[in-house]
Structure 1
Amino acid sequence: MENLIERITIDSEVVHGKPAIRGTRILVSSILEYLAGGDSIEDVLTEFKELTKEDILACLAYASKAIDHKEFRVPAA
């Protein structure tokens, strides 16, 4: 899971410092909203052609760690 989390970055210069997928301006929360709305990983990948399945899984891993209140590091961009 830690390797996946490395795909998520927080940079105050990118999308106001909100967690985003590395190298993009796509918010973790946006991907989670698509999935929560019933879209499949394949649906999300069709919508966001620059993403990979691992990017989507990284969003889920980030959310899992965030709600578990465990301390973890997100690399700066």
Structure 2
Amino acid sequence: MENRITINPEICHGKPTIRNSRLLVTTVLELLASGMTYEELLADYSSLEVEDIHACLNFAAQIVNFRSVSVAA
């Protein structure tokens, strides 16, 4: 995942992207959440690879599991 998900302050204001492109991780995740299939994503984004999609999902899972602040109930 380290080579596939990149954060560069010069690209998309430092938001996580796919391999220093302008394709945001959030875009891939939102399209998957809307019901778009891997095949449709790959057809619409010619530079995208299946491994990139897996890296986006893995990145999202890591973010969800990250804990930095306790929240009072």
Q: Could you tell me the TM-score, scaled by structure 2's length? A: 0.85
Contact 2:8 2:20 (C-alpha < 8 Å) held by counterparts: no
Higher relative contact order (Cα pairs below 8 Å, separated by 6+ residues)? 1
User: Distance in 1 between the 2:2 and 2:32 partners?
Assistant: 18
Closer/same/farther in 2, CA of residues 36 and 59 from structure 1, 3 Å limit: same
Among 47, 51, 57, the residue aligned to 2:44: 47
User: Distance in 1 between the 2:10 and 2:37 partners?
Assistant: 30
User: Distance in 1 between the 2:51 and 2:2 partners?
Assistant: 10
1:62 aligns with 2:59: yes
- Per the TM alignment, residue 5 of structure 1 is displaced from its structure 2 partner at its CA by 4.0
Map of 2:13 onto structure 1: 16
The letter for the 2-side match of 1:37 is S
Map of 2:71 onto structure 1: none
Q: What percent identity do the matched residue pairs reach?
A: 43
* Superposition RMSD in Å: 1.5
- CA radius of gyration, larger in: 2
1:28 aligns with 2:35: no
Aligned length: 68
Partner SS state of residue 21, structure 2:
coil
- Per the TM alignment, residue 6 of structure 1 is displaced from its structure 2 partner at its CA by 3.0
Closer/same/farther in 2, CA of residues 70 and 53 from structure 1, 3 Å limit: farther
Structure 2, unaligned runs of 5 or more: 69-73
Closer/same/farther in 2, CA of residues 11 and 39 from structure 1, 3 Å limit: same
